[in-house]
Amino acid sequence: MKESYGQPLIVLSGVTKIFGEGQAAVEALRGVNFRVDEGEFVAVMGPSGSGKSTCMNILGCLDMPTEGSYLFKGIEVGRLSRNSRALLRRHYQGFVFQGFNLLNRTTAMENVELPLIYRGIASAERRGRAMHALETVGLKGWETHTPGELSGGQQQRVAIARAIVTGPAVLLADEPTGNLDTARSREIMELLTLLNRDSGITIIMVTHESDMVAYAKRIIRFLDGLVASDENNGRHN
């Protein structure tokens, strides 16, 4: 059994997800149960079609369960309106993707400021918070560079700064090292470890790479739409 780190942040109970109808129906999730406590660093693994990506979409409020319960900070997400789910994502969740998803013609600073613009935060405060986020990820002095002027590892650092600038309760990372070489991948994982340890940000990361899993404190493995295993990794950051 996994250790308890804090208060439950996420609780999935009996979550199923069916795509399509009748003979074409596909049961992507078949009754998933797990919880993630505040301050955890969880790696999610599984072969293609195992249900892990569907589960992450539900956690990120991009999709809804067909049946079952998803509690986020004790709130039943399934009872929220579309607008309320969007607000939950905006205020409590940060996202990091394999492809960085940066705006190519804008500076690192402007990319990081973007979530704060959506929140309606004044320019001076946006700039200060973005500067701090970039410094946190080791990019002080790179604020005015565009993505085309940055390495892949630096671009992912900008993406992580953008994800943390709002002070999210959880960082959802989808293959964050998938486009990076080994050295840059290790740098990004060490950064995520630091954010988890020093800033207390809960991290849930999907990855196929066994080397990257070593950085997580807990591993959830999916198979055929179910949680096949859920165990501590033996690592204490």
| Integer Cα distance of 166 and 120 in angstroms | 12
- pLDDT at position 208, please? 85
Model confidence at 110: pLDDT above 70: yes
Residue 180 lies in a domain: yes
Amino acid at residue number 92: Y
Please give the residue range of the domain that contains residue 51. 8-100+169-232
pLDDT in tens, 38-53: 999 999 999 999 999 9
Answer whether residue 224 is part of any domain: yes
Q: What pLDDT is attached to residue 99?
A: 87
Overall average pLDDT of the 215-223 stretch? 96
Q: Is 63 exposed, middle or buried (0-12, 13-18, 19+ CB in 10 A)?
A: middle
* Nearest Cα residue to 34 out of 232, 235, 224, 220: 220
Instruction: Please count the structural domains in the chain.
Output: 1
The answer to whether residue 133 is domain-embedded is no
Please report whether residue 122 resides in a domain.
Answer: no
Grade residue 172 by pLDDT with cuts at 50, 70 and 90: very high
Which segments of 119-181 does DSSP mark as H helices, in order?
123-136, 152-164
46 token code pair: 């599984």
CA neighbor of 102 nearest in space, from 112, 87, 94, 92: 112
Q: Residue 117, SS3?
A: helix
Bridge partners (DSSP) of residue 229 are: 221
Domain membership of residue 115 (yes or no) is no
Determine the Cα–Cα distance for residues 107 and 129; give it in Å rounded to an integer: 15
**Residue 68 falls inside a structural domain:** yes
pLDDT on residue 98: 86
Which phi and psi angles does 171 have, rounded to 5°? -110, 120
pLDDT reported for residue 23: 87
The kind and range of the H/E element at 82 are helix 82-92
Q: What is the model's pTM?
A: 0.91
For residue 141, the tally of other CB atoms under 10 A from its CB is: 9
Helix or strand run (H / E) with residue 210: helix 210-213
Q: Determine, yes or no, domain membership for 135.
A: no
CA 95 to chain CA mean position, Å: 5
In whole angstroms, what separates CA 57 from the centre of its chain? 10
Residue 4 in this model has a pLDDT that exceeds 60: no
Question: What percentage of the chain has pLDDT greater than the value 70?
Answer: 96
pLDDT for residue 1: 43
CATH of the domain at 180: 3.40.50.300
Residue 158 within any structural domain of the chain: no
Portion of the chain with pLDDT greater than 90, in percent: 84
**Alpha-carbon span 64 to 149, nearest angstrom:** 38
Residue bearing the bigger pLDDT, 3 or 210: 210
pLDDT, residue 3, reads 53
Q: Which one-letter DSSP state was computed for residue 46?
A: -
User: CB of 170 within 8 A of CB of 10?
Assistant: yes
